[in-house]
Amino acid sequence: MNNNLSVEHLTGIKDLTRQDIELIFKTADNFKDVINRPIKKVPSLRDITIANLFFENSTRTRLSFELAEKRLSADVVNFSAASSSVKKGETLIDTVNNILSMKVDMVVMRHPNPGAAKFLSERIGAKVINAGDGTHEHPTQALLDAFSIREALGEVEGKKVVIVGDILHSRVALSNIYCLQKLGAEVMVCGPTTLIPKYIHELGVKVEHNLRKALEWCDVANMLRIQLERQDIKYFPSLREYSMQYGLTKEILDSLPKEIKVMHPGPINRGVEITSDVADSKQSIILQQVENGVAVRMAVIYLLAAKIERH
């Protein structure tokens, strides 16, 4: 297997080859062993400085990247737009160039604008990792999701995965579709017509509006949050009605013909897209996803850092 990624930055799963994804998984397998040892650290990136730039809220992704960087022994600086000079009118490029002049080698960025990570990668010398760009892509989430399916079911190839909920506003859905298809899985999306984008058929996924039928088809259900913060109009009458049609309950789960795995990228709205007893059930791999996120992000950072010219 080639030990180099085919890309210089990770701005989206769309740009990756299947070989890239398999290399990230193989590398993450090694890092998963590392983070389960008493000493959870390797000295690999002692000469690298990484800036985490978050222009949107985050809990999991931000902490996971920071832990991954620290476990690789990189120096880490954190930037949050809410408490920065962005509030005084500074542009993205000016903000980033000021940070880079402090000798930063890699930038992890979450931004509300689709394409922001790609825009940045074309204008700066540092490596860029997209930690979520608006409604576009969230590549490391899709990688950790597929890695968790591989861990739970042995492989991704041939598995049937349904992504349920607000597909229209979801960067997780788009990155998952690209990633799962590249690895040979079959993908279905399920939700109300108003939350399924019109271009979805061009992506080669199945569409099902009936939750029970979707669940009867799949091996894995990835339940998404309704992104009310990105919805400028009403896409369904009420959360209560959405939950009655598309919420996954223990009663539905237990009545299915086979035992499926349940995933969620977080944050969960318990009682809306998923009930508490489902989120905490033995079929749920939600906390395994979070655990795997650190190993997968260590792998992505490590492989991109290998492409940085050291002087």
Over the window 154 to 173, marking each residue x when it contacts ligand CP by CB under 6 A and - when it does not, the resulting string is --------------------
The catalytically annotated residue of 138, 150, 159, 264 is 138
The catalytically annotated residue of 32, 62, 71, 110 is 110
Count of residues binding ligand CP (CB under 6 A)? 10
Q: Which stretch binds ligand CP (CB under 6 A): 22-30, 54-62, 158-166, 189-197?
A: 54-62
Among 251, 267, 287, 307, binds ligand CP (CB under 6 A): 267
CA-based nearest residue to 295, from 146, 153, 147: 147
Whether 61 sits among the annotated catalytic residues: the reply is: yes
Over the window 120 to 149, marking each residue x when it contacts ligand CP by CB under 6 A and - when it does not, the resulting string is ------------x--------x--------
Whichever of 27 and 141 has its CB closer to ligand CP, that residue is 141
Copy the structure tokens of residue 304.
């991109």
Strand, coil or helix: 144: helix
The residue sitting closest to ligand CP, measured at its beta carbon, is 61
Residue 259 burial by Cβ neighbours in a 10 Å radius (0-12, 13-18, 19+)? exposed
Q: Are 207 and 201 in contact (CB under 8 A)?
A: yes
We find the least distance from the C-beta atom of residue 243 to ligand CP, in angstroms, to be 20
- Strands 160-164 and 127-133, by their bridges, are unpaired
Whether 60 sits among the annotated catalytic residues: the reply is: yes
With residue 109 as reference, give the H or E element that holds it.
strand 106-111
Strand, coil or helix: 91: coil
Among 2, 30, 36, 59, binds ligand CP (CB under 6 A): 59
Whether 240 sits among the annotated catalytic residues: the reply is: no
CA-based nearest residue to 222, from 192, 251, 260: 260
Whichever of 58 and 73 has its CB closer to ligand CP, that residue is 58
Among 11, 27, 49, 61, binds ligand CP (CB under 6 A): 61
Strand partners, 78: 52
Among 139, 191, 247, 265, binds ligand CP (CB under 6 A): 265
CA-based nearest residue to 184, from 21, 61, 7: 21
Strand, coil or helix: 16: coil
Three-state DSSP string of 193-221: HHHCCHHHHHHCCEEECCHHHHHHHCCEE
Distances 194 to 166, 200, 231, 233, 268 between C-alpha atoms, Å: 9, 12, 11, 11, 21
Q: Which stretch binds ligand CP (CB under 6 A): 18-26, 59-67, 118-126, 251-259?
A: 59-67
Distances 133 to 72, 96, 112, 169, 234 between C-alpha atoms, Å: 25, 16, 5, 11, 23
Over the window 78 to 117, marking each residue x when it contacts ligand CP by CB under 6 A and - when it does not, the resulting string is ----------------------------------------
Task: Please name the residues in contact with 217: beta carbons below 8 A apart, sequence gap of 6 or more.
Answer: 160, 162, 188, 206, 208
Whether 110 sits among the annotated catalytic residues: the reply is: yes
Whichever of 203 and 268 has its CB closer to ligand CP, that residue is 268
Whichever of 64 and 121 has its CB closer to ligand CP, that residue is 64
Q: Which stretch binds ligand CP (CB under 6 A): 52-60, 89-97, 145-153, 249-257?
A: 52-60
Q: Is 197 in the site for ligand CP (CB under 6 A)?
A: no
Whichever of 60 and 70 has its CB closer to ligand CP, that residue is 60
Q: Is 266 in the site for ligand CP (CB under 6 A)?
A: yes
Active site residues: 60-61, 88, 110, 138
Footprint of ligand CP on this chain (CB under 6 A)?
A: 58-62, 132, 141, 265-267
